[in-house]
Amino acid sequence: MADKKGADKDKKGKGKEPTPEDIMPMAAVKALLKQVRKEGAKALSCAVALPDGGKDEAIIILDRTMGAKALRKYLIKQAESTGLELDDKSIRYGKASTDETNESVLVIKINKPTTGDALHKALK
């Protein structure tokens, strides 16, 4: 019976550890990119960060109307509200667009280079 109660907690999300998917699910990213490709828009604002603790998943959030710096602040607020700790040195903002030759590739141009290869490896 104890196992059943633990399973109920996972279904409701209370006993679950926060993940990057809690901030912006990959399905939402893909839907936004599909809509942008269809409308022919040039670029989206984006914010990217790594979770604290050496996890391999990057957190990415995209928006059409919000500016890149504002989106960075929004990412930090969302991470705090979901309980996800961010590596402060890895938080970057910039523009994201699809590659002109291959629309299935997302090109992200960020405000400054990363220190080391951690962010680059996580985004692959």
The residue ranges of every structural domain in the chain are: 19-123
Q: What is the Cα Rg of the chain in Å?
A: 16
Which residue from 95, 116, 111 is spatially nearest to 36, judged by alpha carbons?
Answer: 95
pLDDT at 2 over 70: no
Q: Give the pLDDT confidence score for residue 118 in this predicted structure.
A: 57
Cβ neighbours of residue 42 under 8 Å, at least 6 residues apart? 97
Tokens of 108: 């992200």
Of 27-31, 32-36, 54-58, 116-120, the range with the lowest mean pLDDT is 116-120
Q: Give the pLDDT confidence score for residue 78 in this predicted structure.
A: 92
Of 13-22, 42-51, 75-84, the range with the lowest mean pLDDT is 13-22
d(CA 57, CA 49): 9
Mean pLDDT of 78-95: 89
pLDDT band at residue 22, thresholds of 50, 70 and 90? confident
Q: Give the pLDDT confidence score for residue 56 in this predicted structure.
A: 72
d(CA 6, CA 63): 36
Does the pTM surpass 0.75? The reply is no
Q: Give the pLDDT confidence score for residue 4 in this predicted structure.
A: 42
Highest-confidence range of 12-16, 27-31, 63-67, 118-122, by mean pLDDT? Answer: 63-67
Task: With H, G, I as helix, E, B as strand and everything else as coil, classify residue 53.
Answer: coil
